[in-house]
């Protein structure tokens, strides 16, 4: 964990957390590594109701999701992921040890409980060559939808 601090929900993330802009959220910036090399920068905003439990976790906790389940019985049951490519900004480049403007795979996600209560919304950025996403689909079951890049979640 690079930093964890209480902040306020931004206008673009408040709807995902089903709260109002300006409501308290726990904001966590975390770097994930493989073989000692930084490959993932996670920017997560946790809903106010679960933030205190996350804040108390040690900085080297390998899985927030697993600890929330083990310590509080909380299952993160559903997630919506929006995947696109972006250029590394200054903080991305510093934390991932890349040049500014380097291509990154971005995954924006919102995770909820089985009842649909929002737990977190996040912006994860992966270094080039560090991850592969595989999606299986068929004519009978297709989990994919096409959305506008400007409005993730709004069907094109």
Domains of the chain from N-terminus onward: 3-155 (3.40.1410.10)
Q: Are 5 and 27 in contact (CB under 8 A)?
A: yes
Quick one: pLDDT at residue 114?
Answer: 94
- Is the predicted pLDDT of residue 77 greater than 80, yes or no? yes
Q: What pLDDT digit, counting tens, does each position of 89-128 carry? A: 999 999 999 999 999 999 999 999 999 999 999 999 999 9
Please state the separation of Cα 122 from the chain's center in Å.
Answer: 2
pTM: 0.87
Number of CB atoms found within 10 A of residue 105's CB? 19
């Amino acid at each position: 964990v690079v930093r964890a601090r209480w902040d306020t929900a931004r206008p673009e993330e408040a709807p995902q957390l089903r709260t109002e802009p300006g409501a308290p959220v726990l904001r966590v910036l975390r770097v994930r590594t493989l073989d000692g090399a930084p490959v993932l920068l996670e920017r997560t905003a946790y809903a106010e109701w679960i933030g205190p439990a996350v804040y108390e976790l040690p900085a080297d906790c390998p899985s927030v999701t697993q600890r929330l389940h083990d310590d509080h019985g909380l299952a993160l049951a559903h997630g919506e992921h929006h995947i696109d490519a972006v250029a590394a900004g200054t903080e991305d480049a510093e934390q991932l040890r890349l040049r500014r403007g380097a291509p990154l795979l971005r995954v924006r996600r919102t995770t909820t409980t089985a009842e649909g209560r929002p737990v977190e919304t996040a912006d994860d950025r992966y270094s080039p060559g560090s991850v592969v996403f595989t999606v299986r689909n068929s004519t009978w079951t297709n989990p994919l939808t096409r959305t506008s890049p400007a409005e993730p979640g709004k069907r094109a």
